[in-house]
Structure 1
């Protein structure tokens, strides 16, 4: 088991190991005249912003100076997830894995290090836009924009190679197999081209997911740590319930993770639509536009289903907050409840809350199934 990630950050990056209870950056609720942003001068920024990230462009790396294998991986090892091979072999030999078998957290995924970077971006946003014009979503985009652009570029390569292989090379190979005059080198070149396109498609898709998962983990850890620091600085929690705090650290953090991990897939849709529409219109003529219009008509229905899903999901979250608040009230006043024999009244309240939760869950599940139905029709 490797050392703690915060110690690795302090050793590799030279950052101070400050406690969350004593943050190095000021509270954004303080007055503008009293706010003084602490400059962040890490060795990583002084030596080059992308010094470590550019090392992954090397096809092969034999270094072992980093504690986590993913930091020692080259391009091919990172794309194919070959750095997980020792863990897979250990799982195959022992048929089980324990926490001692798993590597410690990489120093570049440490929440404290990423939180300091997110805080500096947030204070830069406050300085440029002001307190009223600052946008947290813009700060999130600045936090992960470079890695997201790399993931989008990998996705575009996946889409182009996935289109060129079946649409051009496979079609040329079928025409070659039906032709009377067969030139062997041409056929072999088509087979090699199909193999190369499929290899590039699979590797670029794996690279996109590998980059997205690390980016999502960094942003989720930074956002939750940033929120945790803010909660510790609150003088009173009367304006926010315990259920809302739990949702911030659980469901909201998971939504941030999912948005980053699958968000770049939106960039591939227009490219695939343009390529597919151009290809079908070239071979089938204007009648192909009629078939393509069916897909366009399904998208508003999918948008409506997704809006309904988000609406009922928000309703479920509100009901969950009420149930958690009621349970906290019962646990806090259990002595008085037993003393005054109020068990039946609170039991009825809990039963009614559970019924409301069940109804909301059924409604949310129904709308989610409706969304999956429309999505399946478009995919099919």
Structure 2
């Protein structure tokens, strides 16, 4: 027998489902789901408070008053959420008392059978057997596991796998339960399902859905899917809910895209920083290598320039000597004699040469 602590995540799921049903004005489904959860965890005051709210909106005033009085019978712990639940149950009870015109004690005396009917399942502290010694055990002690995808076989012809099925048999916010436990498509009931009866994972059959509900004074109230006005109201609420979900989904997608882009930019910036660091190291190495190359080039160029200068000097020396020889042949030979320290008049050959030259010019 599984304990309620082992079903804590399931109870949270079903509690959220009850709240969703109440927001969509599906109070009959909210009451049925809450009763199913209380069969597993009778001490869950939050679910009992939600069931009382759903019962009050349906018209089960006695059942709602029983739920509110059950919540008020437990003393809340100070500075906890139980105080808020206690205050809400007190406010809801006062509303029911104003409508009925009598208190819970008066109703318990006037309608004891209805009080016992709507009190089930009782709290563990007051749930006793007929002899008053041992507490009774709830008849249903498990909840269907909510999985991402609903079981199509379970909602149509029936699933033979049971708890071993890899798909969900649990109710959700897109379906309502019929008397056989199948999940009937909520969008089909408001004429908005885009799938046909064969392709939809939910049931499209209304045969096992109750056509009416019995309220406290033994009068019948038609089910919401048989009332055109209720169907239109539920359709509007579903459209608003889907619009909110779509907006939230788009916001989450934009945020995810921004995160992806920011991560890409940060990675690219980090990569560029690493590349700049590598380039700086390579440039410093290249500068060192180019500096050494320039030193080698300068030394080699200096040596080549020295050789060229020597050749130019040699070439100039040869040209100058050739010019001097040419100058000596063409010009007066007296300059050459004077350069050797010989005066023309002091040497006999020089005198004879001068005389010969004079005669020649004469």
Per the normalisation by structure 2, the TM-score is 0.27
More relative contact order in 1 or in 2 (CA 8 Å, sep 6+)? 1
